[in-house]
A and B are shown apart, each in its own frame.
Chain A
Amino acid sequence: MPIIVNLNVMLARRKMTLSALAEAVGITLANLSILKSGKAKAVRFSTLAAICQALDCQPGDLLAHGPDPADLRPGAD
């Protein structure tokens, strides 16, 4: 997946734990762990907005694009 999730970086900057963020945003810790580990296939705008609100940041602070030639093959996730 060429999209890199920098949630752990932002959590460290804000000195916030994952469970605290989960409570603030109102989504489960399991789902937030999926997002943090980069296993998520997609993020809803509403979820992204809620995380940005809780961490006081921009979507660009959380997500980055790091293309990998393997990801650009047809049919690759």
Chain B
Amino acid sequence: MLKSLGSLKSFFILSRVLTGIFLFAAFGSLCGLIGKTYDSATGSPEVRLVLYTTTPNLFSAAHDMNAGFEDGFAGRPHRPERGPLPGLRASAESFELAADPNTPLLRYREPNAWKRVALLYLGAADSYLSLSWVILISVGSWLLWGLLRDVTPETPFTRANAQRLVRLVLLVLLLSQAQHLAYLALRALVPAFHAPGVADTLNHYVRLNTDDSIPNPLLGVMLAVIAIVYRRGVELSQEVELVI
């Protein structure tokens, strides 16, 4: 019992150190976002966006499934194995497609500073920074910090931590769903350039870095299960307090 309490205390100390690092990273990300916002608003009007021309950015799963059926029916190899469009060329002077064959870049001039900032906040104009990411790491780390600060081996279940877990679940679920809205906004913000060999306009293929940085909704569901079990733990511990 004492050994397990000791290891639990060591785990809490380690977790607090890690959460401290997350908080520091959150502060760094926030500063980075502020700096990049200033750069986007006042700097060069050129915008660089990552394209993934195999699948449109919305309803990708449904599109991939349909494409898979079509390819299988026609006896063609799987689309990603065929590689991205080899002859991807810009069809107008107003934009340029950079020649990286794996992740083509769409480059164009965006004179509107607000649109450039919006693209940055959505997660299109930077490799890792986005408003969603900054909110996730800031609020998530803060909630985790509060959770670890309150929890002790003697009182592992508290009502405040149950609420923090619920907020963490809501944060993950809301941000993972906000990504769909972000893609809709992206389609409205990026001009509808056409490129030969691509079915839709290029704004349907621009990728957000939040695809990788924002957790999957499945994680939110798993956290929700933990939050429900934890809430039951709080109720049981309150009952135990009234056992003499």
Contact = CB atoms under 8 A, between A and B. Distances in A.
Contacts of B239: 41
A44 B243 CA distance: 7
B62 interface: no
Interface string B202-244: 0000000000000000000000000000000000000100111
A27 B244 CA distance: 9
B157 to A, nearest CB: 16
Contacts of A40: 242-244
Contacts of A43: 243-244
A34 interface: yes
A42 B244 CA distance: 6
Contacts of A32: 244
Contacts of B242: 34, 39-42
A39 to B, nearest CB: 6
Contacts of A35: 244
A27 to B, nearest CB: 7
Contacts of B243: 40-44
Interface in A25-40: 27, 31-32, 34-35, 39-40
A47 interface: yes
A77 B76 CA distance: 67
A60 to B, nearest CB: 18
A41 B244 CA distance: 8
Contacts of A27: 244
B154 to A, nearest CB: 15
Contacts of A31: 244
A40 to B, nearest CB: 5
Nearest to A43: B244
Max count, chain A CB within 10 A of own CB: residue among B239, B243, B244 = B244
Interface in A13-60: 27, 31-32, 34-35, 39-44, 47
Nearest to B238: A41
B179 to A, nearest CB: 41
Nearest to A28: B244
A31 B242 CA distance: 8
B183 to A, nearest CB: 47
A16 to B, nearest CB: 17
A18 B242 CA distance: 18
Interface of A: 27, 31-32, 34-35, 39-44, 47
10 contacts: A34-B242, A34-B244, A35-B244, A39-B242, A40-B242, A40-B243, A41-B239, A42-B242, A42-B244, A43-B243
Given A27-B244, A40-B243, 12 more contacts: A31-B244, A32-B244, A34-B242, A35-B244, A39-B242, A41-B242, A41-B243, A42-B243, A42-B244, A43-B243, A44-B244, A47-B244
